[in-house]
Amino acid sequence: MRSFSGRTAVVTGAGSGIGRALAHELARRGAKVAASDVDVAGLEATVTAITELGGTARGWSLNVTEAHAVEAHAAEVVATFGSADLVINNAGVALAARAVEQTTKEVTKVVDVDLLGVVHGTQAFLPYLLASGDGHLVNISSLFGLVAMPYNSAYNAAKFGVRGYTESIAIELAAARAPVGVTCVHPGGVATAIAQNAERPAHNDGLATAFEQALRMPPHRAATIILRGVQRGRRRQLVGADAWALHVGQTLLGARWMDVMGVLGRQVVPRHAA
């Protein structure tokens, strides 16, 4: 997909952060934006800002964990705008907690939103992307979908899952010579509300602080990189120098990555806390 002008772009989790920046940037480039989120106030702010600048956007209240609602949403988007050409499954939640502390409810929520939310969006929209004739699917994983990080076991599981799911579909569509591009996105730290919106409130120790300090890149910069990846037909798009550095480090170290991270983790966690 070389140009977004006149195309219908679907963005989940568009009420904040990277999703909002993607919605803004797509509208600025002439796309008709179907924005959705569970956070209706955040979503309204995104849509209002776009329309005030003369762009085209409509907001849908949508919980990506509800497969039937996502399916109905896909049909409504196509009924409203005539097609679905670019779908960005972006909605997500974080959970930074030691494995012994996190509850089954918290883990289930992270997997439901971050992995199954992506699956629901893909399943619901794929027939329309195929019908578009020049469709593109973008699933937002994370740097944590490439490298394992301590205190992120549930998030790692979901984001590694997004990568496996997305790459399998990319191969499947390429083998079938289907007219749909696929990009799996792996952002490093982006300065959004993800830490505040996380499943578990911040700890009063170095753990939460360490993660929040890593969130540096402005969301609009992340959006620009993601859209460039789409235009270049990239299968895998890393976002940020931190993502590249840790990905290369993990690739070079192989399984010894876990030993190195274990030593680094000692800097932020008291002895025996795990």
If one asks whether residue 237 binds ligand NAD (CB under 6 A), the answer comes out as no
Q: How many CB atoms lie within 10 A of CB 196?
A: 11
The C-alpha angle 204, 115, 158, rounded to 5 degrees, equals: 50
C-alpha to C-alpha distance for 57 and 268, rounded to whole angstroms: 43
Examine residue 92 and tell whether it contacts ligand NAD (CB under 6 A): yes
| 18 scored as a contact of ligand NAD (CB under 6 A) | yes
Contact status: 63 vs ligand NAD (CB under 6 A): yes
Q: Which of 193, 202, 253, 269 binds ligand NAD (CB under 6 A)?
A: 193
First-to-last C-alpha distance (Å) of the chain: 46
187 binds ligand NAD (CB under 6 A): yes
Quick one: which segment of 80-88, 166-174, 184-192, 253-261 binds ligand NAD (CB under 6 A)?
184-192
C-alpha dist (Å) from residue 236 to 129, 203, 221: 19, 33, 17
Confirm or reject binding of residue 12 to ligand NAD (CB under 6 A).
Answer: yes
Closer residue to ligand NAD, CB minimum distance, 17 or 135: 17
Other Cβ atoms within 10 Å of 90 Cβ, number: 30
Q: Choose, by CB under 6 A, the member of 8, 142, 237, 250 that binds ligand NAD.
A: 142
Q: Name which of 105 and 271 has its Cβ closer to ligand NAD.
A: 105
Binding characters for ligand NAD, 24-43, by CB under 6 A (x = yes):
-------------xxx--x-
Query: CA angle, corner 193, sides to 190 and 195, nearest 5?
Result: 85
At residue 233, φ and ψ (nearest 5 deg) are 65, 30
| 45 is an interface residue for ligand NAD by CB under 6 A | no
Of the candidates 13, 59, 135, 150, which one interacts with ligand NAD according to CB under 6 A? 13
- Rounded to whole angstroms, how far apart are CA atoms 112 and 161? 11
Annotated catalytic residue 155: yes
| Residue in 15, 5, 27 with CA at minimum distance from that of residue 59 | 15
Identify the three-state secondary structure at position 180: strand
Name which of 6 and 218 has its Cβ closer to ligand NAD: 218
Name the residues annotated as catalytic.
155
Residues making contact with ligand NAD (CB under 6 A): 12-13, 15-19, 37-39, 42, 62-65, 90-93, 113-114, 117, 140, 142-143, 187, 189-190, 192-194, 197, 215
